[in-house]
Amino acid sequence: MEENKTLKEELVEKAKELAENDEISNKYQALSDLKKRWKRTLSEDESLFDKELADKFDEYVSVIEKKANELSGNVEEIKNKIIEQAKELAESENYKKATEKMNELFEQFKQAGRSNSKEADDNLWEQFKAAKDNFYERKADYYAQLKDRFAANKESKEKLVEQAKEVLNIENFSEATKKMNSLMDEWKKLGNAGKEFNDSLWASFSGARQEFFKKRSAYFEEMKGEYAKRAEAKKELIAKAKHCLAMSEFTAEEVAEIKNIRNEWKAVGFAGKDNEDALWEEFNGIVNKYFENYKVYGK
């Protein structure tokens, strides 16, 4: 009997705690458990002390029920707001951020507790679940399509890598440069090939480009020296042509020499865009002047 009183006192204390606690979300379940445990303590020979405990217990139960009813309305309101947020979130295309937020809403929905209506709780859950399922279905579709795009981009980038390597064999650097720049434009238009392949593909493509431009730089550096030699050779030919013009004896040997100088000019080759036009203009003017004079004085 003493043990029974202790249990009743314990239940009254728990009822008091529950009545005073506004943070407990699932008050209906807690209250139901208390009532069941209290019922198991009842006996026919109730004492005055038992009556006092029963009155206190009933008093706390009334407070709990009132708060639970208030909470029930709040639960439905809270869950409806969560459902609206979940529906909006289901349309988001920022799947990483939206997934984190959806998980937060799920936790909030669970923590909101239950109302006093199972039917209402079930309906609210179905609405939330529908929004959540819709989001994850869209997310799954998106990543399935993304996987296909990654595969297509991977294949396209692999082809560009091979083409970039082939450009290294083109001897015409003007043509090769246009081709390499065109490949770069195509590369920029392609999307991601997936983190597993994207960096390595870029390393291969970029490596081919760097090798090409290094090769081109070496070629132009070599040609710069060659152009300088050719320019010097053409300056020497200009000097010879000037000598012939200054002499203007118009002998067969002199005419042959000026013609030979002109042939040597052609054989020297291009002297670079910075020098060629000016050198040619000077040389051609001298040669033309010689033959104009030849027509007048040489016959």
**Per-domain residue ranges for the chain?**
2-141, 151-219, 222-297
For residue 47, what pLDDT band results from cuts at 50, 70 and 90? low
For residue 18, what pLDDT band results from cuts at 50, 70 and 90? confident
The DSSP symbol for 79 reads H
For residue 200, what pLDDT band results from cuts at 50, 70 and 90? very high
Of how many residues is the chain composed? 299
**Distance, CA of 257 to CA of 210 (rounded, Å):** 49
**Distance, CA of 172 to CA of 175 (rounded, Å):** 5
**Distance, CA of 161 to CA of 152 (rounded, Å):** 14
Best CA proximity match to 100, nearest among 195, 108, 145, 110: 108
Residue entry with tokens 């396209």: 156
With residues binned 3-state (H G I as helix, E B as strand, rest as coil), the percentages for the chain, rounded to 5, are 85, 0, 15
Q: What is the mean pLDDT of the chain?
A: 86
**Distance, CA of 26 to CA of 132 (rounded, Å):** 23
- What is the percent of the chain with per-residue pLDDT over 90, rounded to a whole number? 51
For residue 9, what pLDDT band results from cuts at 50, 70 and 90? confident
For residue 160, what pLDDT band results from cuts at 50, 70 and 90? very high
Question: pLDDT at position 5, please?
Answer: 60
Question: pLDDT at position 175, please?
Answer: 93
**Distance, CA of 183 to CA of 164 (rounded, Å):** 7
Q: Are 244 and 289 in contact (CB under 8 A)?
A: no
Whole-structure pTM value: 0.50
Query: What spatial distance separates the first Cα and last Cα of the chain, rounded to whole Å?
Result: 154
Question: pLDDT at position 230, please?
Answer: 94
Question: pLDDT for 214-270, tens place per residue?
Answer: 999 998 888 889 899 999 999 999 999 999 999 999 999 999 999 999 999 999 999
Question: Position 219: which residue type?
Answer: Y
Question: pLDDT at position 1, please?
Answer: 46
